[in-house]
């Protein structure tokens, strides 16, 4: 399972009508990994760091980067 896929890979281009089944599969995997990563981070990060506009962040990799610069 690629639970850290969203942290290792950049976000894929949005799907289009011409997207192949492989591209759709990869996008779904990345999106699922991103949602899980964000959920884990939002529930496990200390209250002291939650003021990093966490509600506006939609990518786990961006959230992790902002947290690193905040510390």
Tens digit of pLDDT at every position of the chain (71 positions): 578 899 899 999 999 999 999 999 999 999 999 999 888 887 777 665 666 556 677 888 887 887 777 66
Residue with tokens 């894929």: 12
The pLDDT score that the predictor gives to residue 64 is: 80
3 secondary structure, DSSP code: T
Contact 6, 32 (CB under 8 A): no
Contact 20, 6 (CB under 8 A): no
């Amino acid at each position: 399972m690629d639970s850290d896929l969203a942290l290792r890979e950049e976000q894929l281009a949005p799907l289009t009508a011409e997207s192949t089944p492989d591209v759709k599969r990869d996008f779904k995997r990345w999106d699922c990994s991103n949602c899980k990563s964000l959920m884990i981070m939002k529930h496990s990060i200390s209250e002291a760091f939650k003021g990093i506009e966490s509600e506006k962040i939609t990518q786990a990799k961006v959230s992790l980067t902002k947290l690193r610069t905040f510390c």
